[in-house]
Every structure is written in structure tokens, then in C-alpha cells.
Amino acid sequence: MTIGIYGLGRFGQFWGSLLAKTPARILGYNRSPRAVISSIELVSLEELGRCDCVFLCTAISSMPQVCMTLAPYLAPETLIFDTCSVKIYPTKVMAEKIPLSNPILPLHPMFGPDSANQPDLPLVMCPDPRNNPRSTKLFAAWQQTFTNLGLRVLPMTPEEHDQEAARTQGITHFIGRILGELDLHPSPIGTLGYRKIFEVREQTCNDPWQLFLDLQRYNPYTKSLRAEMDVAFRKLMGTLETLTDDSGE
């Protein structure tokens, strides 16, 4: 069995290192040359397309281009996973641009390089949008593989995922990026709560800026959540402005 990774950025290499715990050979491709960890074997696009399955580990916004680039090299039965942090949009792109013979399983590992040392990490897996006859069997087999890797597989539709992810991952990245704009630092008098928000700041700001933008742009449910945040923020600021300043009393 061969597993291909398309895109060897921070997440792609992390994901490859995790899959290297299976007995499969891990082959990787990156558009531009780059150093990769030893558990991933660098290959050409031709070789990548012949893997039993390929995980797309690229930016959400690059999905159309990536699918079009890869499509001509795909063996007829290669299983395609994406790993995007939104699901409606990439599922639609893959359904359009990947050859019809290839099964597709949209995937979202709800963790990254900075949050992987935890038990029971959730991973969302969506049904094949085109109902390839092989997909049900592949879904079950991969559910088992991921479970063996210590992950908790959550079957979900892309719509369910995006709705839930906007209120969880979306809001977390938004808060983390606001905190990233402030001059904060670890403090000897940091409360437990402060240590938590400081960790969120470090973790989210360590992810690519493109991921943040794409999370907000390609998830149709983040927009209304940002509007809710805006209302909450203004309400709180308004309440505090009405307080008289007694600090110097």
C-alpha cells in the first residue's frame, strides 16, 4: 500500500509523519522543492498519482488549481482525501475536478502540529459526494485505520461540519488573531485563564495567515458569527464606556 501526500508544508509533513505509523509507504510531492522529514519519500507528480490514495494537504483557496494539476496523473482508482478546514467548498471542487472513477472522501483532522499530543483527537470524515461504488467499503476501512492511529472518527456531512466548525475552530482562530495583535507575554502573575488564552494566541498565530483567511472566507457560516462577535464586542465596550473612571479616586 502506498499513501501520497500532495503539499509538504507544515501540515502535510505532520500528516505524513502520523501516517508513517501505518505499514504503508509514504510518498510526497511538493510543487516547489523543499526539505522534508525522512519518513516521506519525495516523488514526481506521476508517481504520486499512482498511489493507492492521495491526501491533499494544501490551502483551501488552492484546491481548484491543485485538483486540476493532479487530475491528469491519477490512476483510475486512486482514492482522494482532502484535509481542508472547511468542507462544503473543497468537496464541491473535488466533485467537479477529480475524474469520476476516483472515490473521494472529504476529511478534516481537527488538530495540527501544535495540538497533536492529546488522546482522542477528533477527525471529521464526510461521505463521497459522488457515491462511488467503492466508497462505502473505503470509508469503513479508513475509519478503522484512523481509529487504530488513536483518532476519533466523526462521520458528518460537509454542511454539518462547516456549521459546527464556524462556532468552534472559526471563533478560536478569530480570538487568537485579535490576541496576536496585542503586545502580550507570559507573566509570572498569569492566571490559569490567561495561560489558556496565551496558548490559543501562540497556537493559532503559528498557523499560516492563509489558513485564517480561508477559514473565514470559505466557510459560509463564519460571516454571521463575525457579525455576532461584532455586536458582542460593541455591547461590552459600550457598557464599559458608561462607567465613570474611579481608578484615581
Least Cα distance to 140 among 155, 129, 158, 120 occurs for 155
Identity of residue 33: P
Q: How far is CA 20 from CA 53, 145, 247, in A?
A: 14, 12, 58
Nearer to a second copy, 25 or 177 (CB): 177
* Helix H or strand E segment including 4: strand 2-6
35 binds a second copy (CB under 8 A): no
Which residues in 51-90 contact a second copy (CB under 8 A)? 61, 86, 88-89
Query: Which residue in the set 25, 31, 179, 210 belongs to the binding site for a second copy (CB under 8 A)?
Result: 179
Nearer to a second copy, 40 or 124 (CB): 124
8 Å CB contact between 90 and 106:
yes
Which residues in 207-226 contact a second copy (CB under 8 A)? 213, 216-220, 223, 225-226
Task: Report the distance separating Cα 191 and Cα 199, nearest Å.
Answer: 12
10 binds a second copy (CB under 8 A): no
Give the binding range for a second copy (CB under 8 A) out of 22-30, 34-42, 125-133, 241-249. 241-249
Closest distance to a second copy from the beta carbon of 111 (Å): 6
113 binds a second copy (CB under 8 A): no
Closest distance to a second copy from the beta carbon of 161 (Å): 7
119 binds a second copy (CB under 8 A): no
197 binds a second copy (CB under 8 A): yes
C-alpha triplet 79, 41, 29: angle, nearest 5°: 55
Closest distance to a second copy from the beta carbon of 223 (Å): 7
